[in-house]
Amino acid sequence: MTAEIISGREVAKAIREEISQEAAQLKEKHGITPGLCTVLVGQDPASVSYVTAKGKACQELGMKSFHHELPEQTTQEELLGLIQRLNQDDQVHGILVQLPLPKHINEAEVLYAIDPNKDVDGFHPVNVGRLVIGEEVFPPCTPAGIQELILRSGTPTEGAEVVVVGRSNIVGKPIAIMMLQKKAGANSTVTVCHTRTRDMAFHTRRADILIVAAGKAKAITADMIKPGATVIDVGVNRVGQKPSKKDPSRMVAILEGDVDFEPAKEVAGKITPVPGGVGPMTITMLMRNTLRAAKLRA
C-alpha cells in the first residue's frame, strides 16, 4: 500500500492560522504586536530570498517586520553594535541574523550576542541548554517543524523507536533531544546515526519514526525502511535543472530528498515529500517562536 503523504504545506497553513489568531488576541489584550527583525550582511542570493520570505510571513500573520541590510564589508564591531541596539528595542521581540555571514565575521560571537529571550532561531547556548533540560523556550525551527509534522500526522510517539540520521547542531542533535523528552509528543527511544555508524540499515529498519537529515540525495533506500514507518525527509539536494512549468524558457532546480522517495513510499506508512514536506514548516516555526517571545514580554 502506498504511504500517506504528509504535506508540510497543509500543516504549515493550519499552524499559521493559529499564530495569526493568537497574534491578534495579543494585540487586543496587551497592545503588543509581535515583531521580528532580520539582519542581512551582504547580498547572497539564497539569503536574500530567505529574508524576503520571512518578511512576507510577518505581514501575512499581522506581525511587525524589521530589516537591516548591511554591506559585505561591515565589521564585526558594527554588527555587534546593531545587535545590542536591537536587544534593547522593545518593538523587536525576535532577532534573526541570516547565515552565512562573510568570512571576516565570527558567526558564533554574533549569535551569542543576541539576547536569549529574543533568539527565535534557538541557537544561543542558553536556549540549547534549556532544550537539553526540557525547558525550551525557543526550539530550533526545523526540528520544531519536524515534531509538528509527526504529531499532526497522527503518528504515536510514546515508546516509539525513533532513528535520526544526521548529527548536526541545527537538525539532528536537537530533534533527537526533543523526541526523548519526558512529555507529550515525545517519550520516544532515540537512536542517532551518522557517517561513522556501522551497518546503518540495521538501525533504520528498527525505526517506527525515521528522521533523515543526512545531506546526501537518496541516502536512504526503500530496503532500509521498516514497513509502515513514518519517514520524515529533511534533505534538499539540487541534482540538476529542468524547464519551469510556468515558463519553459526559464530553468529551475531539480530537488531530491535524502530518501529515495518513489520506492520508499511503497514501504513506509507515512512520508514527507521533497519539496513540500519539512521545508514549509521552518519559517512557520520561526513565526511561532516570535509570537512566543512577544508573549513572554507581555
Residue pLDDT, tens place only, 132-153: 999 989 999 999 999 999 999 9
Write down the catalytic residue from 54, 118, 265, 270.
54
- Does the annotation count 218 as an active-site position? no
Compute the distance between CA of residue 80 and CA of residue 70 in angstroms, rounded to an integer: 12
Chain centroid offset of residue 173 CA: 13
Q: Phi/psi class of residue 16: alpha, beta or left (left: φ > 0; alpha: ψ in -120 to 50)?
A: alpha
Catalytic residue among 98, 173, 218, 270: 98
Query: For this structure, is 98 an active site residue?
Result: yes
- Residue of 118, 119, 121, 233 marked catalytic: 121
Please state, in angstroms and as integers, the Cα–Cα distance from residue 111 to each residue in 13, 17, 39, 101, 218, following that order.
Answer: 29, 30, 11, 11, 33
User: Looking at residue 246, what is its pLDDT?
Assistant: 84
Q: Is position 54 annotated as part of the catalytic site? A: yes
Q: How many CA atoms lie within 13 A of 194 on its CB side?
A: 10
Cell numbers linked to 290:
516570535
Specify the pLDDT at position 244: 84
Per-residue model confidence (pLDDT) at position 297: 87
Distance CA 152, CA 197 (A): 30
Q: Where are the alpha helices (DSSP H) in 153-265?
A: 172-180, 200-204, 261-264
Report all structural domains of the chain as residue ranges with CATH numbers, in order of start.
Answer: 30-116 (3.40.50.10860), 141-280 (3.40.50.720)
Give the pLDDT confidence of 32-65 residue by residue, as tens digits.
999 999 999 998 888 898 899 999 999 999 999 9
Q: What is the pLDDT averaged over residues 254-282?
A: 96
What pLDDT score does 245 carry? Answer: 84
pLDDT of residue 250: 87
Residues in the chain: 298
DSSP count for the chain of H helices, then E strands: 10, 11
Question: Which residue type occupies 111?
Answer: L
Q: Which of the two residues, 298 and 24, has the higher pLDDT score? A: 24
List, in sequence order, every beta strand (DSSP E) within 143-290: 161-165, 189-193, 209-212, 230-233, 237-243, 251-256, 270-271
